[in-house]
Structures are given as structure tokens and as C-alpha cells.
Amino acid sequence: MGPFIGDGRLNYRPALVMEAFYSVGIARNSAITFDWQHIRNPAYNADRGPVNALAVRLHTEF
């Protein structure tokens, strides 16, 4: 994986991911979801991170 995620001299460690989300119904067929991800050792590299990713999603059915 070195050519794809670095220079081949990575300090390899397992990537650890924790995720939490909350979904709220806003109408009969719609919901909005708030999402948080905490990633330790992104791309299996112990010299990088941690990374926090936030997201908001809208789900609607017709």
C-alpha cells in the first residue's frame, strides 16, 4: 500500500475508527442525520492524525 498512501516508509499502525450519529425525522418521509467520525492512524500511518470528520445528511423518500 505504500505507493498509494505514502512514500513507502510509513510508520504502520491499524486504523481505528469511532463513529456516532443521530437521526431526526423532519417530515413523514424525510430525516436529517448528523454524523461524527474520529479516525486514529488514518491510512494506517501512526505519524498522521487523529482526524475528525463531520457530516450532515438528508434522506428523503418519494
Cβ-proximal residues to 7 (8 Å cutoff; 6+ apart), any chain: none
Cα angle vertex 41, ends 35, 42, to 5°? 60
- Tell me the per-residue pLDDT of 31-62, one tens digit each, with 9 for 90 and over: 999 999 999 998 888 888 899 999 999 999 98
* Cα(24)–Cα(31) distance, integer angstroms: 5
Threshold 0.85, pTM exceeds:
no
C-alpha 22/C-alpha 33 separation (Å) is 6
